[in-house]
Structures are given as C-alpha cells and as structure tokens.
Amino acid sequence: MKAKKINYKLLVLLLIFSYISSAQTFKATQQKASRVKTAYTEKWDDLKAELIKRNFDATNFEICIRAFKHDKLVEIWLRSKNEKQFKLFKTYDICYYSGSLGPKRKQGDGQVPEGFYNVAVFNPYSNYYLSLGVSYPNSSDKIIGKTNLGGDIMIHGNCVSIGCIPITDTYIKELYVLAVEARNGGQQTIPISIFPAKMDEKGMNFLNSEYGDNAALLSFWKSLKTGYDYFEINKQLPKITVDKAGKYVVN
C-alpha cells in the first residue's frame, strides 16, 4: 500500500487553530461566571485604554505579581510578548494581612507565605468575590516546613484574611481580568513573588534591625533577596531552584 503524503502546512494550521481555540476557551469559560463577566464589564475597557496609552500590547501580554507584606503593597508588572523586560503597571494596597513577617511553616499559623510561587487556580466563585490561588506549599516550603503545611492561600477580594492577601473587590476585579487576559494569550505560568518587605537597602536595614537576633530567618530572607535583586536589575524573571536546605538559588 502506498503511504499517504503528510500535508505539513495543513497540520501546522490545525495546530495553530487548536492552540487559539484552547486559549479562547479559557476566557470564554471564565466569563460564564457572573462575577468575571461583571469584572470585564466594569474594568476591561479602562484597563485596555491604559495598556494602549502606556505602550503595552493589549492583545498579547504577560503578567507577574509581587507582594510586600510590611509595605502592604501588591505590584502588577506586565510586558508585551515582543519585549524582554517587565514594566510596572499597577500597585494595589494590601488592605489586611494576618500573622507577622516571616514565611508560613504550618497549617493554622496565620502566616502569609514568603517565596516564589505561581497562580495555581482561577476561582470565579470565591467566598471573597474573585481569587487567584497561590501555589503554596512549594518545594522550599516542603523542605523547611512542618508536616502539616496547610494551603488554600489566595489573592482575593474583600478585606479579611487568615494567611491570604486581600486587595478589595475593586482591585481583584482588575487583577483577575489582567490575569485571565494573560492566560488567554498563552501564558501558562503566572509568577507570584511574596516578600517580607521591599528588599532594597532601606527594607533590609529594617529587617536586620527588627529581626537581627533570628539568624535562621535572616538567612532565609537572604536567599529571597537574590531573586528580588535579579528582577530589580534586569526586569526579567529569574530562574530559581531550591537547594537541599530549602533555600532559593538564582541560576
């Protein structure tokens, strides 16, 4: 039997169509939830206009999220797909956080995690309007933490929290829409970096003065700072691994 010739052009077109359809399906599926639909109605036109005004590609961008507990800030950084460097787009206030500075190590400690994570889930039916799940515990947490680490850490709406990062309903609508758009455009991994404070000279002086007698905590923060510094200098995401002790290493 004579083998059939493969139409590679047709195969490529089918793959592209499949990819685009899959991406569109994510946004369409999210918008079936009334809260996401409302968020798009209220926020997307203004966000899109601001993106265009600030020279972002509003149809094709990537997002990363950085949170600072002591400063009570969440930074939203974006870059168009044809750009290498991220640029700061929005800064939101963290309206409340539980616990103290330092990482989360066990269930029930009330701590907000610290480290390098990703968006693990989009929840359009959250008890706190909308929420983006943080991929806690990560490999570092599993090495250093207790046996029962807990979970279900979110960036969400409202202004209450036990271990989560609430930024009010108004701002979670914006962040959720931006994250859906980035995911819809093909960004499979959305980074979330959570720091005890801004780890510049002022922030490190504060941490050293307040926690100078806690060598283990300062050592952990020093490993966090390597990732912080890389992003500050390069405005690109560092490639981070975890050593046997659970400390972060920038490659």
Question: What span, in angstroms and rounded, lies between the C-alpha atoms of 31 and 118?
Answer: 22
> What is the tally of structural domains in the chain?
1
The pLDDT value given to residue 3: 47
Q: What is the CATH number of the domain that holds 77?
A: 2.40.440.10
Question: What span, in angstroms and rounded, lies between the C-alpha atoms of 80 and 198?
Answer: 25
Residue 223 lies in a domain: no
Residue 182 lies in a domain: yes
The pLDDT value given to residue 54: 97
Residue 244 lies in a domain: no
What range does the domain containing 180 cover? Answer: 8-197
The pLDDT value given to residue 10: 54
Residue 234 lies in a domain: no
Answer whether 76's CB lies under 8 Å from 89's CB: yes
Residue 180 lies in a domain: yes
Residues catalogued as catalytic: 156, 164
202-211 contacts, C-beta under 8 A, 24 or more apart: 203/70, 203/71, 206/70, 207/101, 210/101, 211/101, 211/102
Residue 239 lies in a domain: no
Question: What span, in angstroms and rounded, lies between the C-alpha atoms of 49 and 47?
Answer: 5
Residue 20 lies in a domain: yes
Residues 115-132 have pLDDT tens digits of 999 999 999 999 999 999
Block residue for tokens 């000279």: 201
Residue 120 lies in a domain: yes
Residues 71-90 have pLDDT tens digits of 999 999 999 999 999 999 99
Closest by Cα among 102, 135, 138, 140 to 120: 135
Question: What span, in angstroms and rounded, lies between the C-alpha atoms of 139 and 45?
Answer: 39
142-147 contacts, C-beta under 8 A, 24 or more apart: 142/246, 143/242, 143/244, 143/245, 143/246, 144/103, 144/105, 144/220, 144/245, 144/246, 145/103, 145/104, 145/105, 145/106, 146/105, 146/106, 146/107, 147/106
Residues 15-29 have pLDDT tens digits of 554 555 454 589 999
Block residue for tokens 């103290």: 100
For residues 47 and 16, the model is more confident at: 47
The pLDDT value given to residue 6: 53
Question: What span, in angstroms and rounded, lies between the C-alpha atoms of 175 and 164?
Answer: 15
How many CA within 13 A on the CB side of residue 45? 4
